[in-house]
Structure 1
Amino acid sequence: MPIPSRPTMNVHVIIPCLAAALATLGSAAAAPSVEEALAVQPKQKRVDYDRLKPDDAKSATMSQEKEGGVSALVVRGPGGQVLRAFADTNGNRVVDRWSYYKDGVEVYRDIDSDHDTKVDQSRWLNSAGGRWAVYRDANDTIDAWLAISAEEATAEVVDALRDRDAAAFARLLPTKEDLKTAGFEGERLAELLQHVAAAPANFAKLAAAQKQFGPDAKWAGMLTPQPPGLVPAGSSGTEKDVQAYDNVAALVEGKNGSGQVFIGALVRCGDAWRPIDAPQMAGEQAGAGESFAFFAPRIAGAASAAGPAEDESLKPLLTKLRDIEARLSTANDAARNDLLTQQIAVLEEVRAAAADADKTFWTKQLAETLAAAVQDATVPEGLGKLEKIAAEVAGDEETAAFVAFRLAQARYAAGMQQSGADVEKVQAAWIEELGRFVEQHPRAADAAEAMLQLGIADEFSGREKEALDRYAAIIKDFPDAVPARKARGAARRLESVGKPLSLTGTALDGKQFSLESLRGTPVLVHYWATWCEPC
């Protein structure tokens, strides 16, 4: 089959040409030219791969090679670096994988997985990320994501918003099967599905109304106030451990300057991170409602487990809060202190104005914010405000316990921040307050964390038996809590001296590792955590 000579050859046009070339590799005349091979383009447009200038293309070469154990036509640049590889993965002498390289490393590939000469999958690789898209027909529109990171998901939201592409946003959302497979059930599953169902219409309204981002706008980063959290198996509406983010924002840059898009919650469904709600933008609240939150306090009997019932009178204050939160993520230290003070003032207004049924929720939000501000040394009066709240809620066991634990954390942080602080004295006061907390609130959700901190203190003081007793109590009384997982690991570590150690897992290269494979070889096991600088 003759090969069309147009330099902008579509990938679908050249498929049969390369297939014919692989089928007749013995005939040099049947092979496509280097120029024609370099003209093949990825199915997706926004792929950053090496393209040669016309003069350099004259020095490029193409030959049949073994690429990853399969036959391929490999195109190399003047310096010998790989530019393209068109492979036959099943040995039927037909091209079914089209690979594109950047600086000699594969960054993208199109795949014909069912060998019908049509691309049905695309994958971004190595430094280009980890997206994995599938197509259900012959057009260039992605139908679903098999894999996409949290950062890539937020970038897709920004692209969809900029392009006013409702379909691109919709394919990011989780299906009911996605959420069930992830581990959600019952009321929490129903609540998530309610948010997901409302997201496409809200997105369409925002995309049509927004004027902040033009066609040149592009994603510049993902902003999040904390690493992904874990919704533990056994908690309300969750039968498996589920990873999720709250309060995610995307940074956007363009000719009109930079801005932010509030993404909200992201949840991991298999290998794909997915948004729950439509995005929001400051000053562009078309159709926006309250975003789902995985880690907000969940109040029994409240209208929504994600937060309080919607109150029209609070909407102006809630809009202020969202605007402050968006600005906080990129503020410098001076501006951050001012914004935190504003945030606390607005939360105080919301708490005062909220309906009685919602006051507990907003009290917890305020206490959490004040404790974080004290620990960051940004709001000096925060400790006094926390103490006042603690006195106000003393008659409500659940709320009193919540506030008391954050007050203890804030007191410890404030003590350590004092100039010339007596560290041992501050530590002793912290341990004493934690002990009182566990005695007064033994069934509180934060009791598990308090007991864990006491156990760690016992370990550092050489009281291993006491530490083991505390770890055992955590495991018994709070088996599904995150501190229980840490307690199990700590207990196993303390009890492993002189005993065989079984250790398996996935290594950084993706391969399975077993300590048993090193039998007969001295092995040093280093216990550490990402948050532990001395480790």
Structure 2
Amino acid sequence: MKAGNAFRTTTIHSFVGLLMLGMLFPTATRAAQGPKLTDLLAYKPTQEGIEYQIPKPDEYAACKVDVEKTGKASGWVVLGPQGEVLRRFSDTNGDNIVDQWKYYQYGIEVYRDIDSNFDNKVDQCRWLNTAGSGWGIDENADKKIDSWKMLSAQEASRVAVEALINNDPATLLTVMMTSADIKQLGINNELGRQIEESVKNSAAELQKARSSASQLNARSKWMRFDATTPGVIPADSGKSDQDLMVYENAMSIVEVGSDTLLVQIGEIVKVGDVWKLTAVPKPLIGNAIQLEGGILMQPSITTTGGGSMAGIPEEVQKLLDALQKLDANSPTPQDTPQAIATYNASRADLLEKLVEASNTPEEKSQWLQQMIDGLAAAVQTGGYPQGLERLKKLETSLKGHELSPYVTYRRILAEYSARLKAATGDEDRQQVQSWWLEELETFATDHEKSVDAAEAMFQLALAQEFSGEVRESEKWYKKIAETHPELTVAKRAQGALKRLNSQGQPFSLTGSGLGGGKISSSQFKGKVLLVVYWATWSNRCQEDLPLLKELYEEYHSRGFEILGVNIDQTPENVRPFLQQQKISWPQIYDPGGDESPAAMEYGIIMVPTMFLVDKTGTVQSRPGNVEDLQKLLPELLEK
């Protein structure tokens, strides 16, 4: 068995031939000719801080190396003085090359390095059993985790604290919420905007936080995670389209010499199997510490001094208690419409009183935003139709206020939903659509600099593009890119402009291959290439697939290639789908769905989206369907 590039010590490379011999002939005799115990024990995990058993030199004589073979899988196991497992080095695919390196503590596996795509480089790292549950992805095999496939809240806090200690923004970003996470959870636009705002300057905020805690140094050590029981924000709260599991006001305790330091982790949200932060961790310095409320849960106004509520006006405390009691008894989707409407009206009343009772403009704005969000969500879900009138009154009263664009945009969204529900025929719906576009255009013009204007412009661009008004859509895409270049939606708008003007231009796309490595469209120069963006959840893609397979089989021998670009949120369904459909052409896949790098590059707004590229690498057409492709392909292959 060959060691491959993932074996890092020079001593290991010296016995590659013996490794192969041991694997090809896994007998007791051949095992004795295999790698030396000292060479195997020289291997170390790619990640630091792993606690695993290392025998002392005077115990070596009692240790031994055995060959293991089960089906196609084979490898070596290192046994300790008491017969306990110390290491396993496994070839799981039968190619005679080690692709898993396993480390044990007292006979229990605690860590595993994995070469998942069999390119002789470690690209995954797993903490197991007593060591935790983290599953990291090292995309470029540089021994640094780029993303997480699985990570507990406790482990996420540790990653964040170690990033703080080492002032390492790249590591911190692996546990910070992203736009893709927000979309995956279905978090509403405003809360999503607040989260994006909170995390957008993570590197600078990390530097600031690190500078504020001079006691932190390289010897500082994360000790434990400290939080109350995680809470569930139900999907019918209007904050997201699915239940959210959240830790609020989480803390980490850090050892600094003979003392300890509290680090506020804040709000942690579960995204799939990974917990993510909505704010940069902050060391809590000084005696009077004020905890910061999270974005997703209602802010909690407390201090760390035994939970005292000192300093909160009695009137405000009564209102907060009433709000908490109301939310604890919130109606379920099975309750009557009247009960749901009554709840939403009562909640808005309490928030309105909290606005009036607030002492500072910041507090007033905070409660106003909660009130506006709640009313808009209740109208859109049908839970409080009368809330639209309250939104309109707020819009009038807040003219000239900093929240004026905020309330106006949410009133537009709520009213659009209400009007659509009331429409009884195609003509009515068309009138609603016309009203919607007029309102968006007015808003985008009047509040051009607001964050919500960028979303309004994008909605206008989409509507114009779908209706065939390409030049009008380009106008809005350009406007977004010019006025809000820092937003994610601006990157998508720039990609859309590139897509709409791609004909006659060189096509350029590079991404991660679904099976590992990188794939670039430049690899296919000299061939006619169809690039097709697709998703397993799209019925249209599923319908087109058999026709694409026929074309591929018919023309592949004449120089026709297909490059798939999948935009599923996660890859779990993609591989089985391709195997079931017997699809053999290469696939680009990067996490993030329609906000993945490959999708953003060309501003993909629907699937399938196709580019037909000639032998020089130039886009010749963007076929709208497979029938168009069938007409264009033969002629292009002849050129």
TM-score after normalising by structure 2: 0.46
* CA 370–187 in structure 1, closer or farther in 2 if over 3 Å, else same: closer
- 1:95 is aligned to 2:98: yes
**Deviation string, structure 1 residues 71-102 (Cα, Å, up to 9, x no partner):** 22000011100000001111222110110001
* CA 396–157 in structure 1, closer or farther in 2 if over 3 Å, else same: closer
- 1:183 and 1:242 in contact (8 A); partners too: no
* Deviation, structure 1 residue 241: 1.0
Pick from 186, 189, 195: which aligns with 2:189?
Answer: 186
| Unpaired runs of at least 5, structure 2 | 327-345, 355-382, 385-639
- 1:135 and 1:142 in contact (8 A); partners too: yes
* Deviation, structure 1 residue 21: 5.2
- 1:166 is aligned to 2:131: no
The secondary structure found in structure 2 opposite 1:234 is: helix
Instruction: Provide the C-alpha distance between the structure 2 equivalents of 1:78 and 1:265, rounded to a whole number of angstroms.
Output: 46
Pick from 233, 241, 251: which aligns with 1:231?
Answer: 233
Instruction: Provide the C-alpha distance between the structure 2 equivalents of 1:153 and 1:29, rounded to a whole number of angstroms.
Output: 44
* Deviation, structure 1 residue 395: 13
* Deviation, structure 1 residue 31: 1.6
* CA 115–2 in structure 1, closer or farther in 2 if over 3 Å, else same: closer
Instruction: Provide the C-alpha distance between the structure 2 equivalents of 1:101 and 1:265, rounded to a whole number of angstroms.
Output: 34
| 1:262 counterpart residue number | 264
Instruction: Provide the C-alpha distance between the structure 1 equivalents of 2:12 and 2:203, rounded to a whole number of angstroms.
Output: 32
- 1:398 is aligned to 2:350: yes
The secondary structure found in structure 1 opposite 2:45 is: coil
Instruction: Provide the C-alpha distance between the structure 1 equivalents of 2:22 and 2:291, rounded to a whole number of angstroms.
Output: 56
Instruction: Provide the C-alpha distance between the structure 2 equivalents of 1:75 and 1:192, rounded to a whole number of angstroms.
Output: 48
* CA 189–397 in structure 1, closer or farther in 2 if over 3 Å, else same: closer
Pairing of 1:175-324 with structure 2 (within 5 A): 175-224=178-227, 226-283=228-285, 292-296=294-298, 324=303
Instruction: Provide the C-alpha distance between the structure 2 equivalents of 1:364 and 1:18, rounded to a whole number of angstroms.
Output: 75
| 1:139 counterpart residue number | 142
Letter in 2 for 1:346: G
Instruction: Provide the C-alpha distance between the structure 2 equivalents of 1:14 and 1:238, rounded to a whole number of angstroms.
Output: 57
- 1:210 and 1:284 in contact (8 A); partners too: no
Pick from 36, 41, 62: which aligns with 1:38?
Answer: 41
- 2:138 and 2:147 in contact (8 A); partners too: yes
**Deviation string, structure 1 residues 382-414 (Cα, Å, up to 9, x no partner):** xxxxxxxxxxxx999436999xxxxxxxxxxxx
Letter in 2 for 1:263: I
* Deviation, structure 1 residue 146: 1.2
| 1:79 counterpart residue number | 82
- 1:14 and 1:40 in contact (8 A); partners too: no
Letter in 2 for 1:76: L
Pairing of 1:462-481 with structure 2 (within 5 A): none
Instruction: Provide the C-alpha distance between the structure 2 equivalents of 1:80 and 1:255, rounded to a whole number of angstroms.
Output: 38
| 2:310 counterpart residue number | 345
| 1:499 counterpart residue number | none
* CA 237–117 in structure 1, closer or farther in 2 if over 3 Å, else same: same
* Deviation, structure 1 residue 191: 2.0
The secondary structure found in structure 2 opposite 1:83 is: strand
Letter in 1 for 2:242: K
* Deviation, structure 1 residue 134: 0.8
- 2:249 and 2:292 in contact (8 A); partners too: no
Instruction: Provide the C-alpha distance between the structure 2 equivalents of 1:129 and 1:95, rounded to a whole number of angstroms.
Output: 24
Instruction: Provide the C-alpha distance between the structure 1 equivalents of 2:92 and 2:135, rounded to a whole number of angstroms.
Output: 18
| 2:526 counterpart residue number | none
| 2:130 counterpart residue number | 127
- Give the stretch that moved more between structures: 71-80 or 178-187: 178-187
* Deviation, structure 1 residue 193: 1.6
* Deviation, structure 1 residue 11: 10
* Deviation, structure 1 residue 32: 1.0
* Deviation, structure 1 residue 254: 2.9
- 1:9 is aligned to 2:12: no
Instruction: Provide the C-alpha distance between the structure 2 equivalents of 1:243 and 1:38, rounded to a whole number of angstroms.
Output: 42
* CA 205–67 in structure 1, closer or farther in 2 if over 3 Å, else same: farther
- Give the stretch that moved more between structures: 87-96 or 191-200: 191-200
Instruction: Provide the C-alpha distance between the structure 2 equivalents of 1:15 and 1:136, rounded to a whole number of angstroms.
Output: 28
| Unpaired runs of at least 5, structure 1 | 298-306, 308-317, 329-335, 352-358, 372-393, 403-442, 445-535
- 1:148 is aligned to 2:151: yes
The secondary structure found in structure 2 opposite 1:253 is: strand
Instruction: Provide the C-alpha distance between the structure 1 equivalents of 2:162 and 2:15, rounded to a whole number of angstroms.
Output: 29
* CA 134–398 in structure 1, closer or farther in 2 if over 3 Å, else same: same
* CA 13–294 in structure 1, closer or farther in 2 if over 3 Å, else same: farther
Instruction: Provide the C-alpha distance between the structure 2 equivalents of 1:141 and 1:73, rounded to a whole number of angstroms.
Output: 26
- 1:277 and 1:291 in contact (8 A); partners too: no
**Deviation string, structure 1 residues 345-390 (Cα, Å, up to 9, x no partner):** 2223xx8xxxxxxx96x7644778999xxxxxxxxxxxxxxxxxxx
Aligned residues: 329
- 2:84 and 2:107 in contact (8 A); partners too: yes
| 2:462 counterpart residue number | none
- Give the stretch that moved more between structures: 116-125 or 137-146: 137-146
* Deviation, structure 1 residue 9: 2.8
* Deviation, structure 1 residue 215: 2.1
* Deviation, structure 1 residue 160: 1.4
- 1:145 and 1:171 in contact (8 A); partners too: yes
* CA 199–17 in structure 1, closer or farther in 2 if over 3 Å, else same: farther
- 1:247 and 1:262 in contact (8 A); partners too: yes
The secondary structure found in structure 2 opposite 1:71 is: strand
CA RMSD of aligned residues (A): 3.8
Pairing of 1:484-503 with structure 2 (within 5 A): none
Instruction: Provide the C-alpha distance between the structure 1 equivalents of 2:70 and 2:221, rounded to a whole number of angstroms.
Output: 35
Letter in 1 for 2:57: P
Instruction: Provide the C-alpha distance between the structure 2 equivalents of 1:68 and 1:401, rounded to a whole number of angstroms.
Output: 70
Letter in 1 for 2:246: A
* Deviation, structure 1 residue 200: 3.0
* CA 118–41 in structure 1, closer or farther in 2 if over 3 Å, else same: same
Letter in 1 for 2:350: E
Letter in 1 for 2:241: E
* Deviation, structure 1 residue 289: 11
- 1:262 and 1:279 in contact (8 A); partners too: yes
- 1:11 and 1:43 in contact (8 A); partners too: no
Instruction: Provide the C-alpha distance between the structure 2 equivalents of 1:136 and 1:54, rounded to a whole number of angstroms.
Output: 36
**Deviation string, structure 1 residues 504-523 (Cα, Å, up to 9, x no partner):** xxxxxxxxxxxxxxxxxxxx
Letter in 2 for 1:85: R
The secondary structure found in structure 1 opposite 2:242 is: coil
* Deviation, structure 1 residue 2: 11
The secondary structure found in structure 2 opposite 1:133 is: strand
| 1:525 counterpart residue number | none
Instruction: Provide the C-alpha distance between the structure 1 equivalents of 2:105 and 2:251, rounded to a whole number of angstroms.
Output: 29
* Deviation, structure 1 residue 185: 3.4
- 2:215 and 2:256 in contact (8 A); partners too: no
**Deviation string, structure 1 residues 42-81 (Cα, Å, up to 9, x no partner):** 1112101000000112221011124798322000011100
Instruction: Provide the C-alpha distance between the structure 1 equivalents of 2:139 and 2:348, rounded to a whole number of angstroms.
Output: 55
Instruction: Provide the C-alpha distance between the structure 2 equivalents of 1:158 and 1:179, rounded to a whole number of angstroms.
Output: 23
